[in-house]
Structure 1
Amino acid sequence: MSNGSRPLGFAVVTLAYVAAALIALVSVVTMAGRHPLLLTLLADVAATLLIFAASMAAANASLYDPFWSVAPAVIVLVWALALGAGGARPVLVLLLVLAWSIRLTANWARSWQGLHHEDWRYEQLRAERPGGAPWWLVNLVGIQLVPTLVVFGGLLAVWPAVTVPGRGLGVLDVLAVLVTVAAIVLETTADRQLHRFAADPGNRGRIIDEGLWRYSRHPNYLGEITFWWGMWLFGLAAAPSWWWTVIGPIGMVLLFVFVSVPMMDRRSLSRRPDYAVHMRRVPALLPRPRPTTGGAHRT
């Protein structure tokens, strides 16, 4: 199966996600009566376990990758339609989540080549296996369950934003819209600039140092983090007593700062000797002023 065509790979992914949705639905039905948030978490984990099983059967952990953007959109859609508080806020949140989800999922689909193509980070984890742990455990916990729980933490703020009634739109909602839209635009622009740079044969062996990438080594990650802060602002506007859901965006910051950014930087250092100089010149996430000269640096 790992040598199959790209259409076959997407067919397998589609079937796996349909099965995951059915497992999630069965979980909700069989455990009806519990708090909707707990039901959502249990269904989310059940769906993750199904995708984990499919990834092991296909010998490709990247089957989980679209889960990051697909599951939140489904969850928020169900919350808004079944439990929505009414008014403009749930509609705004749902539209923004769908825009984020479609863009991020399309970006994954654009780059994934099929069942023979596994994210380099998973290949690295498969080879290194921290502590000598079996691959199935690394895949289940490190690649799938932990991200599922981190994203669910981010969604905690969305719950009051779409289900708690009584507070009309205010200044905080305006700020939430601005932050979330800016995050989506930032991610979209960063990805387009990176794809355009990588598609140019003249940039082979070079470090991208133009556009947004001139001011941040990982502007796409910065956009992703900012999106979840925007979601938290919506939750805060709807129900200030839910301020504690700030653990969601904080968890995102920790995931990217201590896992994603270091892994990407280590890979770039191993492939591009001049990347160490680039790291000293360009901050990892938050931009700072730089001289006007720039471009792409040959390695």
Structure 2
Amino acid sequence: MARITHGIACSHIPVLGYAFDHGKEGEAYFKPAFDGFGWTRQFMAEEKPDVVILVYNDHASAFDMKIIPTFAIGCGELYGPADEGFGPRPVPPVEGHADLAWHIAQSLILDEFDMTIINEMEVDHGLTVPLSMMYGHVDKWPTKVIPLAVNVVTYPPPSGNRCWALGEAIARAVESFPEDLKVQVWGTGGMSHQLQGPRAGLINKEWDNRFLDRLVGDTQELRHIPHIEYLRETGSEGIEMVMWLIMRGALGKSTKALHRHYHVPVSNTALGHMVLEPVDGTVPPSPTLEGNSAAAQARIA
């Protein structure tokens, strides 16, 4: 059966994409940021996941104020890079894994998560920058990708607890897929940053590193952080870190850190990156499907 082998957290700062695309990785300003991904690129070359479930937020490329899905899963075959105002990034298109994506969508909906299913969309820097950080310059991405978009742009975003629970439900879905696949779950966005207003440029190193600390081990404290704390301590865009909790929830009861990188500033933003491995991958059973054999069998079918 399919199995989740690792989780990766990574900021998706757009200027990293710009620097990457224009060969600036070695420049004095950018080099410390990019150096933190050397370990991970070697790890990815050795690990070779078949599929990445990539949790990110769209930046008005696929969705705008007309349609604001809280959780949306891409079930298509191919996703091109979006034009974000300066033309599409010069990176390969993203190949999906439609069979696994549809299986996950069915399982999540039967687990009582109201998912929006997307068959056609373009993906922006929220998804493509992490791929560039992990794989470098390639002609084709070495893995298939299932995009999972989360609304953290317009209030109300989902709670950290809901995101963690969604990760647990994703783990149940993956484990019930019969094909032998190595799957990773990535959570992107963050860390502390505010892009506008009197607090523009806010970075909270201490809070960020406490957050990274609590991704490791068996604590579930992070799922209970209220929105107001993200806003107060990490700026208006710090709420993106709830997407990391989907990744963490998918890894089960306990984790260990294989690699950690934190650097400031990158375009007035804190850069965070971590590679996690499940120690005890046990995920709680669905509270909604427990004992509901008909629905449970439908989810697994």
TM-score, normalised by the number of residues in structure 2: 0.25
Instruction: Give the helix-richer structure, 1 or 2.
Output: 1
Instruction: Give the strand-richer structure, 1 or 2.
Output: 2
